[in-house]
Amino acid sequence: MTDFTELMQRAREAAAKAYAPYSKFQVGCALVTQAGGVFTGCNVENASYGLTICAERNAIFHAVATEGPQMRLASLAVIALGHEFPPCGACRQVIAEFAAPDAPVCFLQNGLLVTQTLAELLPSTFQL
Ligand code: THU
């Protein structure tokens, strides 16, 4: 799936399933793997706030759990219901663990679908 509009729609559907009783900020992510798999995730919050998992990491971990440790990201889209934002810094670092620098990451900005490469979003990736 290379159609980012369709990927965004999958992300929107995932956002509707978010467990976000504390922030009310419902986030959904949809990604495509190099193997052609499509995975989604939503944010899942917790009364102990730090235990919350973001939608992007939820989707990425779901992809690894299904495809295994060789899973590589081809593209990723993220959206919040009623809000616009690019992925948080923690999720950018996790995306970098599984994606090439030129991997496209889609999100909404001023009502428009924006696509940036991972390298644009996270120019100085931490690597061991
Ligand atoms: N959140 C995400 O799911 N992804 C991000 O990139 C940023 C933040 C979630 C975490 C929390 O449940 C809510 O949005 C408010 O921070």
Domain boundaries, the chain: 4-121
β-pairing verdict for 73-80 and 104-109: parallel
Residue 71: its pLDDT value, please?
Answer: 98
pTM for the full predicted model? 0.97
**Mutation choice for ligand 1 from 17, 19, 22, 23, CB with most ligand atoms inside 8 A:** 23
User: Tell me, what DSSP letter sits at residue 111?
Assistant: T
Residue 3: its pLDDT value, please?
Answer: 86
pLDDT at 12 over 60: yes
Among 2.40.50.140, 3.40.190.10, 1.10.10.10, 3.40.140.10, name the CATH number for the domain at 4-121. Answer: 3.40.140.10
Q: Which atom of ligand 1 is nearest to the CA of 88?
A: 6
User: Tell me, what DSSP letter sits at residue 69?
Assistant: T
Active site residue 56: yes
For the stretch 16-52, pLDDT in tens is 999 999 999 999 999 999 999 999 999 999 999 999 9
Residue nearest (by alpha carbon) to ligand 1 atom 10: 54
- Ligand 1 pocket residue status of 45, Cβ below 6 Å: yes
